[in-house]
Structure 1
Amino acid sequence: MKDIARQSLSIKVESMDLLNNQIKMEAHASATYLAMASWCDQNGFFTGAKFFYKQAEEEREHMMKIFQFVIDAGGNAISPEIGGISHEYSSIVDIFENALDHEIRVTKSIHNIVMKAREVGDLATERFLDWFVLEQVEEENTIRDILDMIELTGTEGVGLQIIDGKINDWID
């Protein structure tokens, strides 16, 4: 029965498997952003913490959006196990550099799924991911803008307070 069910899915198996990997990546991102928020709270970057709490919520929303799409398309969405979350950061710059690296990995993963969906003729998955492609442009741009602001402000003395205050500009 399992093989018959997999053959009659609206979603292509190749897409479903990649989307389940993406679900795990989004869950990992949410947990990572919670760890970053905690670091910010512990180190007096309260606005930075607020930013990362919001990012953690958004990543969980992304995970759930993909999870529900897989279900709606007749697939089997897998609840991810999450591990390997770092809680050690050396500075606010380190936090945002790690966030940018992560967002770039997510972008590459989304692009990979889109290309696979296109290759196997899974138009529904390809169309579903259009929003995620544009969302990743916004996510990367936000982190780059914050890193640029940090570089311009500097991390000496009052610069750290200015940085934390300016991060508020990127919280909706």
Structure 2
Amino acid sequence: MAINENVAKALEDQINKELYSAYLYLTFADYYEDRGLKGFANWYMIQVQEETDHAKALRRYLLDNDYKPTMEAIAKPDKTFANDLEPLEAGLAHEEYITSLIHHCYEVAQEAHDIRAMQMLDWFVKEQGEEEANARDMISNMKLFGSDPKGLYDLDREYATRTYIAQTTLPM
């Protein structure tokens, strides 16, 4: 059974949004790198890898369902930051936006009675909950400890320990 055109188009658009997320998080990493906060930069470089993994999983799903996705241009991030909290807040706002897009994809799949796509998207719904929780935690930590140089140093060291783990549970 061929994939529903509306579902395919929604997932195709989501690929672009996931790649934009990676591109956006590169700018966050660059901001923190410039500030000398290599741990924060590391955190966002791992986010870049995860977002790219998400795009590849969606691409694979489409290909496996006999649909060749079209790669569109990725928008240029336009964020600038005045302090170390602003990228974290922008990150949470962006994750909430991505969650709304995943929900839209799910709704399109539901309208098309595409159970397979809905099952695949279940993973993304759960992942977005984790992404938002992580973003909120980083904001809380920055507000609690980031105004003190020692606290900021400790946070940066903590975020430097994050390592990339290929997500073997991705829906492929």
Asked whether the two chains share a fold, i.e. TM above 0.5, the reply is yes
- The answer to whether residue 33 in structure 2 is matched with residue 41 in structure 1 is yes
Residue from 148, 156, 159 that aligns with 1:167: 159
Aligned partner of 2:68 in structure 1 is: 76
Question: For this pair of structures, how many residues does the alignment match?
Answer: 164
RMSD: 1.6
In structure 2, distance between residues paired with 1:128 and 1:37? 30
* % same residue: 26
- Quote how far apart the aligned CAs of 1:169 are: 6.3
Residue from 119, 136, 147 that aligns with 1:127: 119
Where relative contact order (Cα < 8 A, 6+ residues apart) is larger, the structure is: 2
Query: Structure 1 length normalisation: TM-score?
Result: 0.88
In structure 1, distance between residues paired with 2:161 and 2:137? 10
Residue from 150, 160, 163 that aligns with 2:142: 150
Aligned partner of 2:47 in structure 1 is: 55
In structure 2, distance between residues paired with 1:90 and 1:166? 23
Q: Which 4+ runs in 1 deviate beyond 2 A?
A: 156-160, 165-172
- The answer to whether residue 22 in structure 2 is matched with residue 21 in structure 1 is no
In structure 2, distance between residues paired with 1:87 and 1:112? 25
Aligned partner letter, 1:54: I
Structure with higher Rg: it is: 1
